[in-house]
Amino acid sequence: MMDETTTAALLKLSVFTIANQAAPFIAIIIQTSLIAHHSSSSSGSTTTVAAFAAVISLAAFATGMFNFLLAVVMNHVGNAVGKKKWGEARSRIRFAQLFTLVIGLACCGLLLGLENIALRDVLNLEDDVFELARTYYKWKAATIPSLLLLKVA
């Protein structure tokens, strides 16, 4: 007998994926709000939010380039699960996680190596924004591997 797929069943299965995809954007909204509300002056707030936005836009670009991983991995894992080949599914998940970690580390290294070019030349940040962005940029680049791993989790 074939399992019946209903809208409710699909929604139930999709909740984790929806939350996983929405979480980074919700975090950005909360972080931006906290930065704006807790800066000591309005000019300091503007500079801080500008630095944050510059770094977030670069990180979003870097992680967004690898969205294909999610589609490819889910396709292969889904095929294996659909055929009830559990060993193959586990193997594909492990490979995807290792491959994603390697790509994430390479992306992190590339971002760190291109820091001045990205912040100064591409985004053309003014000195005060640049100085604030530098520290956060390094931290954000270091989180790229884990952010990409979440996409294939």
Separation of first and last alpha carbons in the chain: 31
Q: What is the pLDDT along the chain (153 residues), one digit of tens a residue?
A: 445 667 887 788 788 878 877 888 888 888 888 887 776 666 567 888 889 999 998 988 888 887 777 677 778 888 888 898 999 989 988 888 888 899 899 999 999 999 999 999 999 999 999 999 998 999 999 999 998 888 777
The pLDDT of residue 43: 59
pTM: 0.71
The pLDDT of residue 114: 93
The pLDDT of residue 2: 46
Question: What span, in angstroms and rounded, lies between the C-alpha atoms of 63 and 104?
Answer: 8
The pLDDT of residue 139: 93
The pLDDT of residue 149: 85
The pLDDT of residue 40: 62
Written as one string, the DSSP assignment of the chain is -PPPP-HHHHHHHHHHHHHHHHHHHHHHHHHHHHHHHHSSSHHHHHHHHHHHHHHHHHHHHHHHTTHHHHHHHHHHHHHHHHTT-HHHHHHHHHHHHHHHHHHHHHHHHHHHHTHHIIIIIIS---HHHHHHHHHHHHHHHHTHHHHHHHHT-
